[in-house]
């Protein structure tokens, strides 16, 4: 089978697994108070050029989003996000379950615009409505599109105008950073976001996400919130151990680039055959439109997800490449098509 279902179907990049093997018998302090996490925190502060940032170690993305947003918002405050966003559609209402409304705005390309934020803020204009306080975006977006640096700068300016926090979900930050359409460095994320996370699970780690809190107002007692939510990991050293090599010598960006290159090769070869895409292919997740008949045939040899039934005999499907995908996977799929 050709595996294009997601970017976390295999273990970890060999360098990361090797680090885990090498340090398997290194006795460590618990709950991220170990030397691996301390070293990785220092490495991250240097990479993002922000010596005062706080860094926290999480096991997964939903957990990171849920803990952050519930910690950053007061009880009556709400988060603004795209209607296709991960928190909007793929977290089983995790944010709403913490008592906070997600104000979801329409989006054809997975992104939100400053004008939409302006509109939401203007609409929520008295104390019988929730108070918007955080803008949530992910880069890459849930539909594989990319926010450029200019777009994130515009959202930052909009957040400043309204006194909102900007929180960036970087589950696939490696792919965003590797994209020529993005132009964001680690330091740019620290300069433009109040908090963001550097994704590991989908970017070659065995598991784990690194949350970076830049804004001092969001830092106090954060470990208490993590612990109360079951998110302070006893074996936190395993996350620190993985991110050391992942963030060293450009490996993170290389893995993102590898995944993007294969997906975009597939997209251009499909486009040459006349296939259309639901969203502009920009990163490692692409969403071609195929007939149901073709989808059924492909499913015999390819593992992929169906995203929507378009109701006209066609399906929008999702092909995802990862750090571990190969050119043979892509050539094999193109041959089948
Ligand atoms: C943008 C984004 N954020 C968060 C997550 C959640 O990750 P997890 O499944 O580890 O909770 C995902 C997972 O697909 C994602 O794509």
Distance between Cα 125 and ligand 1 center (Å): 32
What is the rounded distance in angstroms from the CA atom of residue 138 to the CA atom of residue 155?
12
Distance between Cα 38 and ligand 1 center (Å): 25
Cβ of 24: how many Cβ atoms within 10 Å? 9
Confidence (pLDDT) at 253: 97
pLDDT digits (tens, 9 = 90+) for 159-191: 999 999 999 999 999 999 999 999 999 999 999
Dihedral over alpha carbons 9, 284, 80, 170 (to 10 degrees)? 70
Looking from the CA of 214 toward its CB, the CA atoms found within 13 Å total 21
Name all residues whose Cβ lies below 6 A of ligand 1: 60-62, 86, 138, 142, 169, 171, 201
CATH topology of domain 14-246: 3.40.640
Q: Token digits for 132?
A: 């918007």
Distance between Cα 45 and ligand 1 center (Å): 24
Query: Nearest CA to 261 among 307, 199, 330?
Result: 330
What is the rounded distance in angstroms from the CA atom of residue 277 to the CA atom of residue 249?
34
Distance between Cα 39 and ligand 1 center (Å): 26
State CA 196 to chain mean position distance: 9
- Start-end ranges of CATH 3.90.1150.10 in the chain? 2-7+252-336
- Concatenating the DSSP letter of every residue in 252-317 gives HHHHHHHHHHHHHHHHHHHHHTT--BSS---SSEE-BEEEHHHHHHHTTTEE-EEEEE-SSSEEEE
Query: Is the distance from CB of 44 to CB of 55 less than 8 angstroms?
Result: yes
Confidence (pLDDT) at 52: 98
pLDDT digits (tens, 9 = 90+) for 86-144: 999 999 999 999 999 999 999 999 999 999 999 999 999 999 999 999 999 999 999 99
What is the rounded distance in angstroms from the CA atom of residue 195 to the CA atom of residue 54?
9
CATH of 2-7+252-336, one of 3.40.50.150, 3.60.60.10, 3.90.1150.10, 3.50.50.60: 3.90.1150.10
- Start-end ranges of CATH 3.40.640.10 in the chain? 14-246
Distance between Cα 304 and ligand 1 center (Å): 17
196 forms bridges with which residues in the sheet? Answer: 168, 212
Length of the chain: 337
Angle at 33 between CA 31 and CA 34, to 5 degrees: 105
Burial of 312 (0-12, 13-18, 19+ CB in 10 A): exposed
pLDDT cut 90: percent of the chain above it: 100
pLDDT digits (tens, 9 = 90+) for 23-57: 999 999 999 999 999 999 999 999 999 999 999 99
Query: Is the distance from CB of 331 to CB of 310 less than 8 angstroms?
Result: no
pLDDT digits (tens, 9 = 90+) for 66-85: 999 999 999 999 999 999 99
Q: Counting atoms of ligand 1 from 1, which one is nearest the CA of 62?
A: 11
Confidence (pLDDT) at 188: 98
Query: Nearest CA to 120 among 80, 88, 159?
Result: 80
- Of the residues 57, 62, 140, 199, which should be mutated to test ligand 1's pocket, given the most ligand atoms within 8 Å of the CB? 62
């Amino acid at each position: 089978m050709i595996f294009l279902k997601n970017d976390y179907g295999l273990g970890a990049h060999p360098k990361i697994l090797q680090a885990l093997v090498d340090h398997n018998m290194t006795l460590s302090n618990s709950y991220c108070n170990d030397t691996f996490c301390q070293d990785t925190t220092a490495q991250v502060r240097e990479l993002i050029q922000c010596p005062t940032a706080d860094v926290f170690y999480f096991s997964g993305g939903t957990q990171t989003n849920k803990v952050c947003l519930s910690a950053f918002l007061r009880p009556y405050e709400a988060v603004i996000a795209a209607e296709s966003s991960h928190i909007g559609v793929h977290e089983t209402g995790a944010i709403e379950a913490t008592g906070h409304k997600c104000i979801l705005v329409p989006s054809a390309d997975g992104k939100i615009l400053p004008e939409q934020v302006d509109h939401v803020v203007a609409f929520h204009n008295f104390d019988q409505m929730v108070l918007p306080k955080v803008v949530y975006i992910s880069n890459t977006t849930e539909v594989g599109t990319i926010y450029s640096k200019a777009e994130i700068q515009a959202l930052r300016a909009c957040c400043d105008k309204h006194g909102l926090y900007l929180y960036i979900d970087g589950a696939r930050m490696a792919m965003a950073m590797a994209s020529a359409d993005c132009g964001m460095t680690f330091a740019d994320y620290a300069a433009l976001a109040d908090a963001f996370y550097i994704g590991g699970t989908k970017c070659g780690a065995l598991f784990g996400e690194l949350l970076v809190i830049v804004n001092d107002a969001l830092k106090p007692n954060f470990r208490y919130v993590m612990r109360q939510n079951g998110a302070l990991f006893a074996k936190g050293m395993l996350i620190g151990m993985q991110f050391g090599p992942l963030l060293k010598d450009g490996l993170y960006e290389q893995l993102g680039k590898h995944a993007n290159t294969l997906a975009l090769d597939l997209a251009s070869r499909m486009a040459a055959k006349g296939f259309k895409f639901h969203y502009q292919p920009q990163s490692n997740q692409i969403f071609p439109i195929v007939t149901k008949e073709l989808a059924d045939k492909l499913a015999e040899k390819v593992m992929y997800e169906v995203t929507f039934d378009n109701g006209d005999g066609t399906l929008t499907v999702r092909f995802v490449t990862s750090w571990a995908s190969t050119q043979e996977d892509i050539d094999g799929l193109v041959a089948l098509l």
